[in-house]
Structure 1
């Protein structure tokens, strides 16, 4: 018996089969091998075609079944992880009416800022725990203001993962955790915020019915089961945004536990049982996937948009793809801590929440044409990403959600020894690296949600710790100096 996990990212779609009895991966596939393109027809826009995501899933799933040799009829449940904060809009035929406005799109920043003032900062902090900012609700208001004919044609709005559940089942559903990440959720009334909907003039009927993050959300339709070779009516029994799911994948579900990831964007995600918030919304608090009435669980999310995308930009344009990431990592390791003065600020992927939604853009500093090489840039990029995460982690610490241990999957930027070393010694916490990924985590969540696994302990018996690193004082001292220099320069850039 197997569980299927789907991880809908902005760079690729990953699928994984979990052998439920063994608690271990039975195969993983990703499509495409190169990063998906993000369309940006105007400055600060970022869009993708939802049907493109689905086509990539079909190709990845076919590849997974072929390479694993597993009979797809043995799949018992489906779990979905997805890129957060996106907006998919469908008509009455359940077809997208426009491209999805994805997480790093910055067009709605001014709309969210205006809403924060009009609704009142006190109200937004107490009820939404965030400014409406550039989140899904504000993106929908942007469509209403700028594309009125498109808005009139919308039957339902959804997050990217909701769209995949729709494709699988034919039903429009969502989760409370998902609505909170779109800043539709009122944390005081424990329901959709009527005040926000009224201010944005959004019809509540555009929202899908709310299902639990764990549990029977919908079922694979007979038509889709035939197309995919699945057993009809198996449940879609887990759904989560990628960062809560990354935390779940690492068994980060209890107060004081922290997860990190560094793919296209970089995130530190801290679980708490308190409704903590940052008055400037530089980090954001949402419902964690295991929140319930008896045991409140919230996730404080620090996101830096420009992390792995900076590394891929260097690979594409600095090396013309002549080097792979492993070779870039080896070159970065030949340069000492601090990259001999080179500093990179990785903020070239839209407005950054940690910078109060300022669009700073990426920049390189202190280049000496007689001394510095591409190896210095590779090192400075990885350090700059870590420093940006540290800058936001300081906000989380000030909120009272600090931790001495951070868990991450051994993937993406965390594959780099330089990145691992910089992270541990700059953040000042132990780093535990696990053999898992978002698709595998979604598969575990589906088995738990379908009540195949009876407990969280049983769910994670097969999760493997592969590496553990601790800060080293000599390195910590060096990284502290380099980080403070970087931070001082950042403050100059922000004040210009």
Structure 2
């Protein structure tokens, strides 16, 4: 008996088939091999075709079934993880009306900021826990004003994971966690925010029905079964945004526990056991996968858009042709801590929340043509990403969160020893790395939702730590000096905005 997990990312779609009894991964697949296309019709925009996601799902499903020789009837339940904050709009025939406006698209910032002023900071922060910012609700407001013909044809709006679940089952649904990430959820009233809907002029009918994060959310339809090689009636029993799901994947569920990722975007995600918010909405609390009104579990999300995308830019534009990321890491390690006072401010992938939704672009500061080379640039890129994490962690600490230990999957930038050592040192927190990813977490989440596992402890009993990185105390002062210089340069940029 297997559990099937999907991770609907902006770079690729990943799929895992997990043996339900052992909890071990039997097969994995990812598609496309290179980063999936993101369309940018205008500066600051980012769109993807939802149909592409579905085709990628079809490909990876067939690949894992072929690898294991499993059939659809061998799969007990399906879980879905997905890129957060996107907007997918479908008509009554469940057809996407336009490309999805994805997480790093910044066109709706002004709509969210205006709602923040009009609804009032007190209401937004105490009820929604965030400014509407650049989240799904604000993106829908942009669509209403700028593409009214499309808006008037909308039957339902949904997140990327809701769309894939709909394609699998024909059932349109979402979760409280999903509504909270779209800034539709009122935490004090435990319901959709009518004030927000009224402000933007949205009908509540546009929103999908709410289903539990863990539990039956739909069943695979005959059409999807035929397309993917699954069995009709297979239940979908779990869905969550990529960052709450990453935390679940690392068994991060209780207050004070921290999970991190460093893919296209980078995240530090900590669990709070009370309803709280950042007064400037620079880090964002959402309902975690195990949140209930009786036992609040909020995931405080620090997101940096310009993370892996900066590292991939370095590979394409700075590294020698054909260099692997491992070779880049080795070359970067030849430069000293602080990269010879070269700083890269990594905010070149849309508006950044920790900068109050400003879009500063990426800056390379302190470049000396007579001193710096490729190694310095490569190291400065990784240090700049880590320093942006630290900058956001300082905000989380102001909310009362203490980063004592970081858990992460052994993937993406956490494959870089330089990145891990820099982060552990500047955060003064050991990093534990695990052999897991979002699709494996989604599969195990499906096992919880289907009742195959009694609880998360049983679901993640097979999760093993494979590496640990301790802070480099000998060079701590050098890391701190490099961070302070980086922070000073960032604040200089912000003072001129």
Q: TM-score range by the shorter chain?
A: over 0.9
| Structure 1 residues without counterparts, runs of 5 or longer | none
1:59 equivalent to 2:59? Answer yes
**Whole-Å separation in 1 of the counterparts to 2:171 and 2:366:** 54
Match of 1:72, SS state, is: coil
- Answer with 335-344 or 440-449: which moved more: 335-344
1:476 maps to 476
Q: Tell me the residue number matched to 1:329.
A: 329
1:311 aligns with: 311
| Counterpart for residue 4 of structure 1 | 4
Decide whether the 8 Å contact of 1:73 with 1:229 is kept in 2.
no
Q: Give the Cα separation in 2 of the matches to 1:209 and 1:398.
A: 36
Deviation at 1:373, TM superposition (A): 1.4
Deviates more, 1:108-117 or 1:293-302: 293-302
User: 1:458/1:469 Cα in 2 relative to 1: closer, same or farther (>3 Å)?
Assistant: same
Instruction: State the Cα deviation string for residues 392-415 of structure 1 (Å, max 9, x = none).
Output: 010001100112111000100000
SS of equivalent to 2:237: strand
With the length of structure 1 as denominator, give the TM-score of the two structures: 0.99
Hey, what does 1:438 align to over in structure 2? 438
Residue 133 (structure 2) aligns with: 133
Tell me if structure 2 keeps the 8 A contact 1:432–1:467. yes
SS at match of 1:73: coil
CA deviations 1:396-449 (Å, max 9, x no partner) are: 011001121110001000000100000100111111111100000000000010
- Of 388-397 and 53-62, deviating more is 53-62
Q: C-alpha displacement at 1:295, in angstroms?
A: 1.8
Provide the rounded CA distance (Å) in 2 between the counterparts of 1:51 and 1:378. Answer: 36
CA distance in 1, matches of 2:476, 2:89: 47
| Contact 1:10–1:83, Cα closer than 8 Å, also in 2 | yes
**1:193: which partner in 2?**
193
Q: TM-score, normalised by structure 2?
A: 0.98
Q: Is the 8 A contact 2:190 2:293 kept in 1?
A: no
Would you say the 8 A contact 1:84–1:159 is kept in 2?
Answer: yes
Correspondence 1:289-308 to 2 at 5 A: 289-308=289-308
Structure 1 residue 226 displacement after superposition:
2.4
Which structure 2 residues correspond to residues 341-352 of structure 1 after superposition, within 5 A?
341-352=341-352
Tell me the CA shift for residue 476 of structure 1. Answer: 1.9
Provide the rounded CA distance (Å) in 2 between the counterparts of 1:85 and 1:71. Answer: 33
- Give the Cα separation in 2 of the matches to 1:364 and 1:417: 23
| Residue pairs, 1:141-152, within 5 angstroms | 141-152=141-152
**1:70 positional shift:** 2.6
Partners of 2:133 and 2:75 in 1: how far apart? 40
> Take 2:70 and 2:334, find their aligned partners in 1: how far apart are those partners?
44
Question: 1 CA distance for matches of 2:69 and 2:341?
Answer: 52
Question: 1:321 Cα shift?
Answer: 4.6
The SS at the match of 1:5 is: strand
Residue-by-residue CA offset, 1:103-145 (whole Å, 9 max, x unaligned): 0000010111110010011111111010011100000010001
> Runs of 4 or more off by more than 4 Å in structure 1?
none
| Residue in structure 1 matched with residue 280 of structure 2 by the alignment | 280
Q: Secondary structure at the match of 2:337?
A: coil
Distance 2:79 2:63 in 1: 18
Q: Give the aligned partner of residue 110 of structure 1.
A: 110
The question of whether the paired residues in 2 share the 8 Å contact of 1:89 and 1:156 is answered with yes
> Match for residue 119 of structure 2?
119
Q: What is the number of residues matched between the two proteins?
A: 496
Give the match for residue 371 of structure 2.
371
CA root-mean-square deviation: 1.0
Q: CA deviation at 1:340?
A: 1.0
Contact persistence 1:169–1:220 (CA under 8 A): yes
The 1:427–1:279 alpha-carbon spacing in structure 2 relative to 1, beyond 3 Å, is: same
1:415-454 alignment runs, 5 A limit: 415-454=415-454
For the 8 Å contact 2:403–2:427, the answer to whether it is kept is: no
Return the offset for 1:56. 1.2
